[in-house]
């Protein structure tokens, strides 16, 4: 379901709880209050997503299909929407040329050591000024990434301080009237501070290439945005925490480990799911796994030679349609190179961890870098700032597999 459908279903569920209490002429129970509070928090998050999506659509609609009034300079056309981050850059360019005084903002990335300029030939242009777009809109990402699994938030400072909670000690119990009530206690939390990290890069283009807006759009979308997403995914999952790097989920103190032993890979993953729940009370909601490890699971067959996850045309024994990435034990499954081979990560991702961003993706361009002006070049810089909060490290379990050799094709 899309966010609007999810919100409608959630509101209907909340209204049913209230209607049931009213029909019985009673107050809401503690469990119902807790359930409604949780549902209301989820509804607020969905409303935020819907609002951002509608704002994104409105902004993109205002810049799509830009046409030149004289020499190809773009002007916004109403009713059309930008389909990508690159087109969003073009929107903020407006009727200005990259050669006119001013500087622009939008994403694209190349290794910091690569000074290669892409394409073009001689041309002339004037100095640029850099404008920063602080309301950057990311296009839809078709590939599932780790960040999509986590909670999200915004931060105004440069670091996040938060408690890392220990296990619940004691708890409630049934007691007789006038008797001593049992004590419950959450061990003093360990306070942790994580600084924001910045992922950034730059690339060069020639003056003539800058005038080809389609080219600029394609460079931004195919290189910068994708590379930023890749670096972010790697950092959130497996960041080392050394220097300016983020400390990823897998390397946090308190993350659990389950060794495969004599279990099958599937059984080991299920036991990891159980460890999440017994340690925290949370229900595991996702699995992040290396492509080679997933290959072993996906190509597993039963005694009749049928693939457990369905065949290459349809489901097991001809039942159901083909699913490209069948979920493992019902978990949302992310197949990613950010996960090291031989160590899938099971976890309650959304309730246990959260990504904080300061602003959006920023893209800036200038011809004042090094000898750009005299060489008819423009330097484009892209960057994003984010931090990772993991309040419940024990809600994640690293599954250590003993055999990481991919399944070989049968002769």
Look up the domain containing 220 and give its range.
84-172+182-411
Specify if 35 maps to a domain.
Answer: yes
Indicate if 33 and 103 belong to the same structural domain. no
Distance separating alpha carbons of residues 122 and 385, to the nearest angstrom: 36
Instruction: Report the candidate in 100, 98, 105, 101 with the shortest Cα–Cα distance to residue 120.
Output: 98
Indicate if 54 and 92 belong to the same structural domain. no
Per-residue confidence (pLDDT) for residue 213, from 0 to 100: 67
Specify if 77 maps to a domain.
Answer: no
Per-residue pLDDT 10s for the chain (411 aa) are 677 888 888 888 888 888 888 888 888 887 888 888 888 878 887 787 777 777 666 655 555 444 444 444 444 444 455 556 566 666 666 665 655 554 554 444 333 344 444 444 344 334 444 444 433 344 444 565 788 888 887 777 878 787 777 666 777 788 888 888 887 766 667 777 877 888 888 778 777 777 766 667 666 766 777 787 888 888 999 988 888 888 999 999 999 999 999 999 999 999 999 999 998 889 999 999 999 999 989 888 888 888 888 878 877 777 777 777 888 999 999 998 889 999 999 999 999 999 888 877 888 888 888 888 888 888 888 888 888 989 889 999 999 998 666 555 554
CA distances from 25 to 22, 28, 32 (A): 5, 10, 15
Distance separating alpha carbons of residues 232 and 212, to the nearest angstrom: 29
Specify if 71 maps to a domain.
Answer: no
Per-residue confidence (pLDDT) for residue 289, from 0 to 100: 94
Indicate if 54 and 160 belong to the same structural domain. no
Indicate if 130 and 52 belong to the same structural domain. no
Per-residue confidence (pLDDT) for residue 11, from 0 to 100: 85
Per-residue confidence (pLDDT) for residue 82, from 0 to 100: 58
Per-residue confidence (pLDDT) for residue 115, from 0 to 100: 44
Per-residue confidence (pLDDT) for residue 137, from 0 to 100: 43
Global pTM value: 0.59
Per-residue confidence (pLDDT) for residue 341, from 0 to 100: 94
Residue with tokens 């389609």: 214
Kindly tell me the burial class for residue 290, based on how many C-beta atoms sit within 10 Å of its own C-beta (0-12, 13-18, 19 or more).
buried
Per-residue confidence (pLDDT) for residue 153, from 0 to 100: 78
Q: What is the CATH classification number for the domain harbouring 352?
A: 3.30.2400.10
CB atoms within 10 A of CB 160: 17
Total tally of structural domains belonging to the chain: 2
């Amino acid at each position: 379901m899309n966010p609007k459908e999810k919100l409608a279903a959630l509101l209907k569920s909340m209204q049913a709880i209230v209607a049931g209490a009213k029909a019985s002429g009673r107050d809401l129970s503690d469990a119902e209050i807790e359930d409604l509070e949780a549902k209301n928090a989820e509804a607020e998050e969905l409303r935020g997503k819907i609002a951002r999506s509608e704002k994104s659509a409105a902004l993109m609609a205002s810049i799509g299909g830009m046409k030149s009034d004289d020499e190809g300079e773009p002007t916004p056309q109403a009713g059309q929407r930008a389909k990508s981050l690159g087109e969003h850059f073009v929107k903020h360019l407006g009727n200005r040329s990259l050669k006119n005084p001013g500087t622009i903002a939008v994403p694209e990335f190349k290794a910091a050591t690569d000074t290669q300029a892409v394409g073009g030939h001689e041309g002339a242009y004037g100095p640029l000024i850099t404008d920063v777009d602080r309301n950057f809109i990311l296009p839809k990402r078709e590939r599932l990434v780790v960040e999509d699994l986590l909670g999200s938030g915004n931060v105004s400072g440069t670091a996040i301080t938060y408690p890392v909670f220990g296990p619940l000690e004691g708890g409630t119990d049934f007691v007789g009237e006038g008797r001593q009530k049992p004590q419950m206690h959450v061990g003093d939390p360990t306070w942790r501070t994580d600084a924001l990290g910045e992922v950034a890069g730059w690339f060069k283009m020639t003056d003539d290439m800058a005038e080809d807006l389609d080219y600029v759009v394609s460079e931004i979308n195919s290189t910068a945005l994708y590379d930023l997403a890749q670096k972010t995914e790697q950092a959130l999952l497996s960041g080392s925490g050394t220097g300016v790097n983020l400390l990823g989920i897998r390397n946090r103190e308190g993350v659990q480990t389950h060794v495969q032993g004599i279990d099958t890979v599937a059984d080991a993953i299920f036991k990891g799911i159980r460890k999440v729940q017994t340690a925290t009370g949370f229900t595991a909601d996702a699995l992040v796994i290396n492509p080679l490890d997933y290959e072993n699971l996906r190509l597993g067959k039963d005694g009749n030679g049928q693939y457990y996850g369905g065949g290459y045309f349809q489901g097991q024994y001809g039942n159901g349609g083909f699913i490209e990435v069948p979920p493992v034990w019902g978990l949302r499954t992310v197949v990613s190179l950010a996960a090291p081979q031989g160590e899938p990560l099971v976890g309650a991702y959304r309730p246990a961890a959260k990504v904080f961003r300061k602003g959006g993706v920023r893209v800036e361009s200038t011809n004042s870098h090094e000898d750009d002006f005299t060489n008819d070049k423009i330097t484009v810089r892209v960057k994003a700032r984010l931090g990772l909060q993991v309040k419940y490290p024990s809600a994640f379990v690293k599954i250590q597999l003993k055999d990481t050799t991919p399944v070989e094709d049968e002769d």
